[in-house]
Amino acid sequence: MAMAMATATAVTDSSSKWSMASLSSALPSLNSTSSSSSIRFSSSSSSHQRRLILSLNNQPQLIPSLTGLASANPLLSLGFSDCTSFGQCFSIVDNGCRISAMRHGRRVPKLNRPPDQRKALLRGLTTQLLKYGRIKTTRARASAMRKYIDKMITLAKDGSLHKRRQALGFIYEKQIVHALFAEVQDRYGERNGGYTRIIRTLPRRGDNAPMAYIELV
């Protein structure tokens, strides 16, 4: 913990008697050119000491002029005339804390399921659509699985062994992966994205959920 010691020297006459005039002369004057104050910051952890001289000669008034509710330069009101920012007079302590931003724009459709069940549902729907070419599901599920269908077809268009293993790790049936990698160039070789089509249909009977057909183009 830094300790601050302010020292002020004044020359008094030892032979003078105690009076108001002698006490007033012993006090430091703001308008005097010889009076100055010094502040010494010392730290027990290191031997380095920083000394800042507060010169009151450049500050004729204790309270500077304010602009609104904030001072124009708060360092000048403290006497730091040679400092233009707090970083020049004080060291910044960095304790290695981690700063993370908020999740703006990272919303995903929850589908009323926890993450593991939601991923299993999307994998199953992707497998069924690649197997049959057209399925009927809710509009929310159809919109959510659309990007996974496009990703699997993009992996198949690459055709490498690494992409095939990635597709095998997502699609449940192995035969569908091999058939997809074998036929994707003839069907989607000239198409860049947009491999699915969503067709709205009548709501589901019972809970009136909006339904849709999703099919491969």
pLDDT in tens, the chain (217 residues): 444 444 444 444 444 455 666 666 666 655 544 444 444 444 444 444 444 444 444 444 444 444 444 445 555 555 555 555 555 555 555 566 667 788 888 889 999 999 999 999 999 999 999 999 999 999 999 999 999 999 999 999 999 999 999 999 999 999 999 999 999 999 999 999 999 999 999 999 999 999 999 999 9
pLDDT at 140: 97
6 part of a folded domain: no
pLDDT at 206: 95
CATH number at residue 133: 3.90.1030.10
Residues 6+ apart with CB under 8 A from 133: 215, 216
52 part of a folded domain: yes
Shared-domain flag, residues 124 and 212 = yes
Strand order in the sheet with 3-7: 3-7, 37-42, 50-54
Shared-domain flag, residues 41 and 128 = no
Shared-domain flag, residues 132 and 198 = yes
Q: Closest Cα to residue 215, out of 122, 159, 156, 132?
A: 132
pLDDT at 2: 45
Select from 74, 89, 104 the last residue of a domain: 89
Select from 89, 106, 128 the last residue of a domain: 89
Q: How many domains are contained in the chain?
A: 2
Shared-domain flag, residues 79 and 126 = no
Inter-residue contact 128 to 200 (CB < 8 Å): no
pLDDT at 111: 96
Shared-domain flag, residues 36 and 72 = yes
2 part of a folded domain: no
What is the token pair recorded at 216? 């491969």
pLDDT at 181: 96
CA distance 204 to 153: 30
What is the token pair recorded at 163? 């992409």
pLDDT at 102: 87
Shared-domain flag, residues 139 and 177 = yes
Burial of 153-185, coded b for 16+ CB within 10 Å and e otherwise, reads bbbbbeeeeebbebbbebbeeeebbeebbeebe
Instruction: Calculate helix-pair angle for 174-188, 139-158, nearest 10 degrees.
Output: 80
96 part of a folded domain: no
Q: Closest Cα to residue 7, out of 28, 24, 23, 21?
A: 28
Shared-domain flag, residues 84 and 174 = no
The residue segments making up the domain with residue 161 are: 115-216
CA dihedral 22, 27, 32, 34 (to 10 degrees): 100
pTM of the full predicted structure? 0.54
103 part of a folded domain: no
CA distance 166 to 160: 10
Shared-domain flag, residues 208 and 120 = yes
